[in-house]
Amino acid sequence: MNAKHKRNPGTDLDLDWVFDARVNRSAVERRTATLPARRSVKKEWQAAWLLRSITNIDLTTLAGDDTPGRVRRLCAKARQPLRPDMLARLDLDGQPITVGAVCVYPNRVKDAVEALQGTDIPVASVATGFPAGQTPFPQRNGEIEQAIEAGAKEIDIVIPRNYVLTGNWQGLYDEVKAFRETCGETAHMKTILATGDLATLKQVYQASLVAMMAGSDFIKTSTGKESVNATLEFGLVMVRAIREYYERTGYKVGFKPAGGISKAKQVLAWQAMMKDELGEEWLANDLFRIGASSLLTDVERQLYHYITGHYAARHHMPMG
């Protein structure tokens, strides 16, 4: 992750700030309802936004049947997410367009690192008992060490949701801070809140603040395994916490929605929210990522439609 800003070192835990958090659910819902329609973009502008979105994707496979071959195919797609003929039609022939990262389980990090050799695409690994975070601390912390040793440059940790649900903010802060120390200067850390498992939007806001105070480089909505994953409502609450943290501390923290984002139309709404709430800088992939597996196929189909006027069959744009 080639950040163009100073990395968030974290702060002391400020419980007054956490307890003072307020979220108006109806206002959040009204605001997010306006995003898909009010910020609609068309034609060449839409194509430009979709091209940018490719660079924000953490191309992900987190399945029980992941194999070295499957990871290699995913990495081939990460290296060349658009067909050469499409790049030529878009006047981008020869220009490097790649995804933001490839995200895998710790056991598959070595496969991904080898497949991406010679590129600047980082490998991200989930860790800390993904997706539930219910294993003992030494095991969860050890997963970070193992993933880094295998070559991961980004670590997506999960928080124990019980800390949030019981209001144990000190416990949450201490664990996330310990994970950040294990990541050190070698790997950037994304903290997954598993928003669908939290009880209220206020808890999402509070957990976001604590995760940033503990030194998270990114905060991320979901594991993709919860019954409810990334929603614009969760996202708005989290990016406003990011904005408040930046205003108070001067440190920029990134945002990653993940889980259930599979359509190009969805990603345009997320981009609109980032631009409106945080500004143009937060559209770059050092501050905005999208965790997805099938999204890239739909983005590619929409760009093909822009070029040709009709949609290609999905089998013309395989993942690898």
pLDDT confidence of residue 314: 67
pLDDT confidence of residue 147: 98
pTM of the model: 0.95
Give the helix ranges, DSSP H, for the chain: 15-19, 25-38, 43-56, 68-79, 84-89, 109-115, 137-150, 161-165, 169-183, 201-213, 232-249, 264-278, 295-308
pLDDT confidence of residue 2: 62
pLDDT confidence of residue 167: 97
pLDDT confidence of residue 217: 98
Q: Catalytic residue at 42?
A: no
pLDDT confidence of residue 40: 65
The residue written with tokens 């490998």 in the block is 123
The whole-angstrom separation of Cα 171 and Cα 152 is 26
| 315 HSE (CA, 13 A, CB side) | 0
Q: Catalytic residue at 275?
A: no
Tokens of 167: 């209001």
The residue written with tokens 């220009």 in the block is 95
Query: pLDDT digit of tens for each residue in the chain (320 aa)?
Result: 666 789 999 999 999 999 999 999 999 999 999 988 755 677 889 999 999 999 999 999 999 999 999 999 999 999 999 989 999 999 987 788 999 999 999 999 999 999 999 999 999 999 999 999 999 999 999 999 999 999 999 999 999 999 999 999 999 999 999 999 999 999 999 999 999 999 999 999 999 999 999 999 999 999 999 999 999 999 999 999 999 999 999 999 999 999 999 999 999 999 999 999 999 999 999 999 999 989 999 999 999 999 999 887 766 666 64
pLDDT confidence of residue 223: 96
CB 127 within 8 A of CB 175: no
Characterize 122-156 residue by residue with b for buried, 16 or more Cβ atoms within 10 angstroms of its Cβ, and e for exposed.
Answer: bbbbbbbbbbebeeeeeebbbbbeebbebbbbbbb
CB 221 within 8 A of CB 256: yes
Catalytic-role residue among 77, 153, 220, 252: 220
Q: Catalytic residue at 265?
A: no
Domains in the chain, ordered, with CATH? 15-316 (3.20.20.70)
The whole-angstrom separation of Cα 172 and Cα 246 is 21
pLDDT confidence of residue 320: 47
Residues counted in the chain:
320
Catalytic-role residue among 58, 111, 156, 217: 156
Q: Is 309 left (phi over 0), alpha (psi -120 to 50) or beta?
A: left
The whole-angstrom separation of Cα 20 and Cα 5 is 28
pLDDT confidence of residue 311: 84
Q: What is the DSSP letter of 211?
A: H
pLDDT confidence of residue 54: 97
pLDDT confidence of residue 62: 96
